[in-house]
Amino acid sequence: MPRTQKNRIEKKGIRVDALADIVEQAKRDCPVQPSAGAGGEGGKKIPRITIAGVGGAGCNALNNLKGIESAMTLAINTDVANLRAIDAHKRILLATESTKGLGAGGSPEIGMKCAEECKEEIKKALEGTELLFITAGLGGGTGTGAAPVIAEAAKEMGATVIAAVNYPFSIERVRIPKADWGLDALFRSCDSVIVLDHNRLAQMVPTLQLNQAFFVADSIVARALKGVSDAIMLPSLVNIGFDDVRAIAGCGGLATIAVGEGSGAFKVEDAVKDTFKNVLLEADCKAAKGALVHITAGSSVSMKEIGEAAERMRKEFAPRTAIAVGAHREERLKDKMLVTAIAAGISSPKIKVTQTVSDVEKEKIAMEIANS
């Protein structure tokens, strides 16, 4: 810029020009530095989050979390062959006399019995866990039967427990009542149950083959759980407090995941709109009691755009919705922004919430009072 023009602007008291120079220099010379993490006091990572995959589908979902630093991964199955193929920090074979490492054969009763027999081993593996995510596919034997026992074990140890489960396709007929049975048991044992309905996924992307649908479902669950876990534990652009996650999970009952993305000039608007279009369960997400929102921003997405996306997301939810927002940068996304929201305390015509963990706890206390 010619010196005379610069002086003219400065004389008018407009500092924009000077600031623009500094901003340019900052962009050129200062690599993006993450802020200090909420969970990383003194730069030390505290391993207090566990993501447990249960049964075939649950363990497969862990394969998308390879290399995760913010959480310990734990694979649990009755099927030794499946377990061997899973890359996780810890593995537990629910081995009993009856199953002999061959799976629960589609029986949730057997899955549950195996987990009960191995409950001490499960508790040992969960030692120190303050937040437990459980992933499983509902409708089979191991995931459906064992997941509620694992949740119960973690609750007994004082952890906050969030399950993220897949609901079977309608064509998997015999699996539906088993899935409903499993959901009922999970509502009673978990703080929140995230349901990702495979049927909904098939409506959203009708061209997918079965194995591709499974892959997409597993990737979405992994993205949501890793997003929250990283935002608590690792240095991020914006961290999520552990207490916020506890409070939002405590909204109780049914939850689901919504995902969106945007790029270009309207990336913020597009990502937010897209998120409320791609809700993985038939439910009114905007009426959620609580929401965990996570924004992943590419290298050229500005902090202003991230802030705008957070603000727009807040405005879309009902005024009473408790919201926590986290954000981190992923250079490889370049101009793209991804939004992932876990909406908790929702209702859906598809899923009946019978009794929640807090109902069960209240009942227990009432019984103790009555018996004393």
Question: Does residue 172 bind Mg ion (CB under 5 A)?
Answer: no
Residue at token pair 């309608």: 170
Among 37, 53, 139, 252, binds ligand GTP (CB under 6 A): 139
User: What is the rounded distance in angstroms from the CA atom of residue 126 to the CA atom of residue 283?
Assistant: 32
Question: Does residue 47 bind ligand GTP (CB under 6 A)?
Answer: no
| Backbone torsion region of residue 345, taken as left when φ is above 0, otherwise alpha when ψ lies between -120 and 50, otherwise beta | left
User: What is the rounded distance in angstroms from the CA atom of residue 38 to the CA atom of residue 35?
Assistant: 9
Residues 171-190 binding ligand GTP (CB under 6 A) are 172, 175
Q: Who contacts 41 (Cβ-Cβ below 8 Å, separation ≥6)? A: none
User: Minimum distance between the CB of residue 178 and ligand GTP, rounded to whole angstroms?
Assistant: 8
User: Minimum distance between the CB of residue 203 and ligand GTP, rounded to whole angstroms?
Assistant: 16
**Number of residues this chain uses to bind ligand GTP (CB under 6 A):** 24
User: Minimum distance between the CB of residue 142 and ligand GTP, rounded to whole angstroms?
Assistant: 3
Cβ–Cβ under 8 Å, residues 250 and 237: no
The residue (of 160 and 189) whose beta carbon lies closer to ligand GTP is: 189
Question: Does residue 57 bind ligand GTP (CB under 6 A)?
Answer: yes
DSSP 112: H
Q: Closest CB to ligand GTP belongs to which residue?
A: 137
Tokens of 228: 């929250």
Using CA atoms in the order 139, 84, 217, 295, what is the torsion angle rounded to 10 degrees?
130
The residue (of 175 and 267) whose beta carbon lies closer to Mg ion is: 175
The residue (of 79 and 244) whose beta carbon lies closer to Mg ion is: 79
User: What is the rounded distance in angstroms from the CA atom of residue 226 to the CA atom of residue 228?
Assistant: 6
Find which of ligand GTP, Mg ion, none residue 175 binds, CB within 5 to 8 Å per kind. ligand GTP
Find which of ligand GTP, Mg ion, none residue 260 binds, CB within 5 to 8 Å per kind. none
Question: Does residue 39 bind Mg ion (CB under 5 A)?
Answer: no
Helix 108-117 and helix 175-189, axial crossing angle in degrees, nearest 10: 40
Among 140, 182, 326, 345, binds ligand GTP (CB under 6 A): 140
Question: Does residue 200 bind ligand GTP (CB under 6 A)?
Answer: no
Residue 278's nearest CA partner among 356, 366, 217 is 217
User: What is the rounded distance in angstroms from the CA atom of residue 86 to the CA atom of residue 306?
Assistant: 35
User: What is the rounded distance in angstroms from the CA atom of residue 123 to the CA atom of residue 103?
Assistant: 21
Which residues in this chain contact Mg ion in the complex, by CB under 5 A?
56, 79, 103
Residues in touch with ligand GTP (CB under 6 A): 55-57, 60, 78-79, 103-106, 111, 137, 139-143, 166, 168, 172, 175, 214, 217-218
